[in-house]
C-alpha cells in the first residue's frame, strides 16, 4: 500500500471541495463555466496520472466529456 498516494488523494479531495466552494461564490454564468472547467481539468489530470490503467483513462474521458457538454449545453 502506497501511503503517499493515499495522502495525495485526500489532499486532492479537500482541494476539490475548496475550489468548488470558491466557484459557488461567483455569479452565473461564471459559476457554471468554472465548475465545468474543473471537470475538464480533473479528467485531463486523471488521464495523465493513469499510467496505463485503462479504467482510469476511461473515467478521465468521461469527466472531460461531461465538462465539455456542461460548457456547451448550459
The number of distinct structural domains making up the chain is 1
| CB-neighbour burial class of residue 9 (10 A; exposed 0-12, middle 13-18, buried 19+) | exposed
Predicted TM-score (pTM) of the model is 0.78
Give residue 25's domain range.
3-72
2 pLDDT above the threshold of 90:
no
> What's the confidence (pLDDT) of residue 53?
86
Amino acid at each position: 500500500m502506497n501511503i503517499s498516494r493515499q495522502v495525495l488523494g485526500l489532499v486532492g479531495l479537500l482541494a476539490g471541495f475548496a475550489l468548488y466552494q470558491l466557484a459557488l461564490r461567483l455569479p452565473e454564468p461564471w459559476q457554471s463555466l468554472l465548475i465545468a472547467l474543473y471537470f475538464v481539468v480533473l479528467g485531463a489530470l486523471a488521464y495523465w496520472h493513469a499510467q496505463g490503467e485503462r479504467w482510469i483513462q476511461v473515467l478521465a474521458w468521461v469527466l472531460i466529456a461531461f465538462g465539455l457538454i456542461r460548457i456547451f449545453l448550459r
